[in-house]
Chains A and B, each alone.
Chain A
Amino acid sequence: MARLRAARVVSDGVLAGFWINARTDICLRAKPATHGAHITGVSARGAACAEAGASSFLVPGLRDSGLNREVCAASRLPVNVMAGPEAAESGALAAPGVRRISYGPFPWRAAMAMPASYAAAAGKPG
């Protein structure tokens, strides 16, 4: 958290409004079925991030719309989430307070899938 404060101080000195989207990976590491038990911890981190000067709070891995609402309701900061294309387009992650839904690494993986399949086909004899 000292690093977050340091980033806020130095950025305030050179670029007003520099956006620090502070991130917790709790829900990325924990199995989705256990996310409910982690919401208190997630929200505590969000509060600490707000206190340290974050601009928003990124919670990748959060999938459940009800838990998403809980995190948003408890957060002083705008909440950002991450999702694969299916979850993103289903609207399941949209909740009051969610500022942004990002695709994370999924566009990169999708873009590499095609050359990977071409290369695999080209590598086969015949």
Chain B
Amino acid sequence: MLVNIRDPGSARTVAAPGAAALATGSASAGGALGFGDGETVPLEAVLAHAAQIVEAVDLPVSVDFEAGYSATPEGVAENVRRLIAAGAVGMNPRGWLSGG
């Protein structure tokens, strides 16, 4: 079972009982930042938020990274590189498959 987190505070709450890893939810994290789902949060804010969450806990953190914030493979590659630099160990991309 994985209880998706939305910010550093909920990360600590979910980590406390002994979670092995954490994962954000895009609607949740977007909502906590005052935005909605679907890449409405600016990329810079997503990366900064991810880094804050990683900093708050001693667990691996996977980030709901929407569609990678780019329509091109080259753009996605750069954004994934930055996501990893922010400290994420995983992601759950959506919208990359033909037909959904």
Query: Is residue A25 within 8 Å, beta carbon to beta carbon, of the partner chain?
Result: yes
* Those of A1-50 within 8 Å (CB) of chain B: 1-7, 9-11, 14-15, 17-26, 29, 41, 45, 48-49
Report chain B residues within 8 Å CB of A104. 4, 25, 27
Would you call B28 and A19 a contact (CB within 8 A)?
Answer: no
Would you call A107 and B80 a contact (CB within 8 A)?
Answer: no
Nearest Cβ distance between residue A87 and chain B, in whole angstroms? 12
Q: Can you name the residue of chain A whose Cβ is closest to the Cβ of B88?
A: A18
Would you call B96 and A3 a contact (CB within 8 A)?
Answer: yes
Would you call B91 and A107 a contact (CB within 8 A)?
Answer: no
Of A21, A49, A108, chain B has the most CB atoms within 10 Å of the CB of A108
Of A11, A14, A26, chain B has the most CB atoms within 10 Å of the CB of A11
With A18-B84, A19-B62, A25-B100 as known contacts, state yes or no: A107 contacts B4, CB within 8 Å. yes
B4 touches which one: A19, A24, A29, A102 (CB < 8 A)? A102
We find that the number of chain A residues with CB closer than 8 angstroms to chain B is 40
Per-residue contact bits, chain B 56-100, to A (CB 8 Å; 1 contact, 0 not): 000000100001101011101110110011000111111111111
Q: Can you list 28 residue pairs at the A/B interface with Cβ under 8 Å?
A: A1-B98, A3-B72, A3-B93, A4-B97, A6-B74, A7-B76, A10-B77, A14-B81, A15-B89, A17-B89, A18-B89, A21-B62, A22-B96, A22-B97, A24-B100, A26-B99, A26-B100, A49-B97, A55-B90, A101-B2, A102-B3, A103-B25, A104-B4, A105-B4, A105-B37, A107-B4, A108-B27, A112-B31
